[in-house]
Structure 1
Amino acid sequence: MVKKVIIGIVMIYAGVLAIILLAASYKQKITRNQFHILIQQEPEDLNPILGSMSAAAQIEEAIFKPMVQIDRNGKPIPILVKRIPTIENGGVELIEPPKPVYDSVYYDVFPPLRDYMRIMDKVVRKPKHWMRVTWDFKEGLVWEDGHPLGPDDVIFTWKVIMNDQVQARSRDVEKRIYSMVKDPNDPQRLIVIWKETYAFYYQRHLMLPKHILEKEYKKNPARFHQTKFNRKPVGNGPFRLVEWVPGNYIYLKRNENYPEALGPKAKLDSIWFQFVGDTNSMMVSLLSKHGDAITTVGVSFDQAIAFDERYGLESRSKKKFKVHKVEGITWEHLDINMDDPILKDRRVRKALMYAIDRDGIVKNFFRNELKKADSWLPPRHPGYHPGIYRYSYDPKKAISLLEQAGWDRVNEDNIRVNKAGKSLRLTLITTAGNKARERVQVAIKE
């Protein structure tokens, strides 16, 4: 029976390439005050705590401003807050976790439970310290409707996400938080108590307008995903949503209530996000001047490369376009089926890494525009370690490892077998219709 390599436990060392995000725009300056963006997918909603689509995230960036924004180098930049709290500036404090209390009435009724809990407190590994993080919001922040924005909105949003009745996309970060409170002496100060020393405490404090959503949320939390807000959000960003025509477009206009504390208002009057499901149609629209740009949720990498060769600034075409290539933080990789007895052997997995000519794939298929990934973290990520082991293309070492794993014979079909005569066969599944991945699939097979 042929074993299939399917999505199971992610093996980062099977990573092949790091992906570069792409966008295309006209070279000439925009002469009108609106911008027309072509996007392949239509979002399901525009509620930051519900959806997980890339298309939604790109549109939400124009509607919502976060407490903290992460730049291309992984550095946190304060947006709604005055500074990033750190231990050095006193904004982050390590505190002792609260001691367990064993005088509950339940323990009095059933004393063995008290003894059990005492034992578990000693056995279960717990963090030595908690964290108190203090955030100071900028003055004069408002939502697009003019209502004040601040700690109350963050606290409300955290409570909504932590409600199991709400279909939040993730609670991984929020569940690490013990409490959120507003400083009684300073309405612009938010105090967050973490149940662990969490390195990325400055990320993902999402925010929804409490004054708009609290009443509807309390009425029926289980139906929060059906609120009208999800398709007509009220944000605090440079643009506000005016119209959403399903299957056609989303129309944004400049937010005239954009606070001075966040910088100048948008120079553009409006932005149109046009939904174009077919990538070829997107290209035609761009060439016929029915669009100003294509988002990263658009053409594939190989299509963008072909477009650059034909219409780029260095091409001979009369229609000149500039293709922007920005290093991303996603990566192309193989997911290994760890239930497969063949792939459970670490030597086999290492052999696969040595047997794949990743440098050749980058050169021959992607014009060296991509970089070989030796880790699931890009080099600029704070968690990246430069001393990580780097696999080279070494077929001899791959063969040696396979022989050590027992695949030391070759049959008449030139397939490796073990002593029992079992063939070393693996099936690689990829995305149908994705030409770049299909080519890489063939290269790996060979």
Structure 2
Amino acid sequence: MSDYKPVVGTKGGQLVYSDWEPVDDLNVLASTAATTQQAAYVLWGALWQFDPKNAPYPDMVSAVPSTDNGLVKQIDATHMDVTLRLKSGIKWSDGSPITPDDMMFTINAICNPDTGASSQAGYDHIATMEVKGATDLILHFGPTKSGYCGLTADNPSGIYASFLTDMDFNTMPKSVLGNVKAADWATNDYFTKKPTVTSGPYMIQDFSPGPAAQVVMVPNPHYGDGRSGAQFFGHAPYLDKLIYKIYGDKSSQIAGIKAGDTDLGLDLIAADLPALNSATNAKTVHATGLLDEFLSLNQGNNETGCASSQYAATCGKPTPFNGDKPLRQALDLAIDK
């Protein structure tokens, strides 16, 4: 269990935080863009989160699953069960209950290739799922067949030790998205205009996407339901408003910081320190983080024309990088990073 001790805040006020890269949508299941995630963190609760020492602590669940608390059980050499136990009484922002059915619905969506989930790692080890009562979803991990949840070959074992880091998904509301075709999630108003219900401490008041995006968020009135007395996330949000502002380019963002238009600037690097240190109304804090950006060359097949990325190996065409090591080496030498 984490030894993290949250600091008690002061009620009221607003925070404007900013970036310079676009927010095109709020599709937290499919997008890997940092800007989308930086808005999603406060809109959708996680099952559990990690403290500065990378120890997990519960968010939407009553306890982080482990063998010590009995929520993780190894059945045999190829089977294990993980119980996701929601906090009793936890609710969506419209006051409706968050249920195990919502969690099961989300996992099924992640495994549907048409949804375009950014990762299916771990979910492809779930053989079956079982709703038990008003709070529990039991994941029965076991051998699974090729074609299930992105698998390109049979999976002989369901044992998946890294489920805590790979499967901390954001639960989606079945009541809102249950009748939306998986292929339409990317263009649905829930992600592109305004999520009607959320589970995190804040909900959307206004969202305008693009290179000059602005996400205006206000407190979720039901965030505290079912959380009272919890060691973590046991209270309503402190700030009256959050505004996530996108400037379109880094120089404009830095100018906004210097002018006092934004309280917190994100996605800045060491090379920006000279410009930031000249700001007279802001304090520059720098630290070594655990995130990095990189170029990943597709050495497989282009999935254009395939039903989904899952079938690219059989229907797609090889990319220029597939099998051409000298080309990849030349690109590496040409990039001064």
Q: TM-score, normalised by structure 1?
A: 0.57
Q: CA deviation at 1:281?
A: 1.3
Q: Which residue of 1 aligns with 2:134?
A: 187
Q: Which residue of 1 aligns with 2:334?
A: 429
Contact 2:126–2:140 (Cα < 8 Å) also in 1: yes
**Match of residue 207, structure 1, among 171, 184, 191:** 171
Q: Which residue of 1 aligns with 2:252?
A: 281
Q: CA deviation at 1:168?
A: 2.1
Contact 2:19–2:35 (Cα < 8 Å) also in 1: yes
- 1:286-325 equivalent positions in 2, closer than 5 A: 286-295=257-266, 297=267, 299-303=268-272, 305-307=273-275, 309-311=277-279, 319-325=280-286
**Match of residue 44, structure 2, among 59, 64, 87:** 64
The amino acid of 1:56's aligned partner reads T
Aligned mates of 2:295, 2:261 — CA distance in 1: 38
- 1:52-131 equivalent positions in 2, closer than 5 A: 52-96=32-76, 128-131=77-80
Structure 1 pair 428/69, CA: closer, same or farther in 2 (3 Å)?
same
**Match of residue 184, structure 2, among 201, 213, 223:** 223
Aligned mates of 2:111, 2:296 — CA distance in 1: 31
Pair member with larger Rg: 1
The amino acid of 1:322's aligned partner reads K
The amino acid of 2:247's aligned partner reads V
Q: Which residue of 2 aligns with 1:360?
A: none
- 1:274-423 equivalent positions in 2, closer than 5 A: 274-295=245-266, 297=267, 299-303=268-272, 305-307=273-275, 309-311=277-279, 319-331=280-292, 339-340=324-325
**Match of residue 270, structure 1, among 238, 241, 253:** 241
Q: CA deviation at 1:145?
A: 0.8
Query: SS at the partner of 2:171?
Result: coil
Structure 1 pair 426/245, CA: closer, same or farther in 2 (3 Å)?
closer
Q: Which residue of 1 aligns with 2:219?
A: 254
Q: Which residue of 2 aligns with 1:14?
A: none
Aligned mates of 1:31, 1:192 — CA distance in 2: 39
Structure 1 pair 333/251, CA: closer, same or farther in 2 (3 Å)?
closer
Aligned mates of 2:38, 2:124 — CA distance in 1: 26
Aligned mates of 1:340, 1:310 — CA distance in 2: 45
Structure 1 pair 133/270, CA: closer, same or farther in 2 (3 Å)?
same
Contact 2:202–2:218 (Cα < 8 Å) also in 1: yes
- 1:162-201 equivalent positions in 2, closer than 5 A: 162-183=111-132, 186-195=133-142, 196-201=158-163
Structure 1 pair 33/331, CA: closer, same or farther in 2 (3 Å)?
closer
Larger relative contact order (Cα-Cα within 8 Å, sequence gap ≥ 6): 1
The amino acid of 1:172's aligned partner reads A
Q: Which residue of 1 aligns with 2:308?
A: none
Q: CA deviation at 1:334?
A: 9.5
Aligned mates of 2:38, 2:218 — CA distance in 1: 16
Structure 1 pair 211/172, CA: closer, same or farther in 2 (3 Å)?
same
Q: Which residue of 2 aligns with 1:134?
A: 83
Contact 1:173–1:204 (Cα < 8 Å) also in 2: no
Query: SS at the partner of 2:26?
Result: coil
Aligned mates of 1:427, 1:156 — CA distance in 2: 42
Contact 1:251–1:271 (Cα < 8 Å) also in 2: yes
Q: CA deviation at 1:308?
A: 5.0
Aligned mates of 2:49, 2:326 — CA distance in 1: 44
Contact 1:92–1:132 (Cα < 8 Å) also in 2: yes
Give the number of equivalent residue pairs.
278
Structure 1 pair 287/157, CA: closer, same or farther in 2 (3 Å)?
same
Q: CA deviation at 1:38?
A: 2.0
Deviations 1:294-344 (A, max 9, x none): 12x3x33210x2145434xxxxxxx24222334322357898998547999
Query: SS at the partner of 1:87?
Result: coil
Q: CA deviation at 1:264?
A: 1.8
Aligned mates of 1:197, 1:174 — CA distance in 2: 11
Deviations 1:2-24 (A, max 9, x none): xxxxxxxxxxxxxxxxxxxxxxx
Q: CA deviation at 1:42?
A: 2.2
Aligned mates of 1:141, 1:339 — CA distance in 2: 53
Contact 1:142–1:148 (Cα < 8 Å) also in 2: yes
Asked if residue 238 in structure 1 is aligned to residue 201 in structure 2, the reply is yes
Q: TM-score, normalised by structure 2?
A: 0.74
RMSD of equivalent CA atoms = 2.9
Identity %: 24
Contact 1:158–1:206 (Cα < 8 Å) also in 2: no
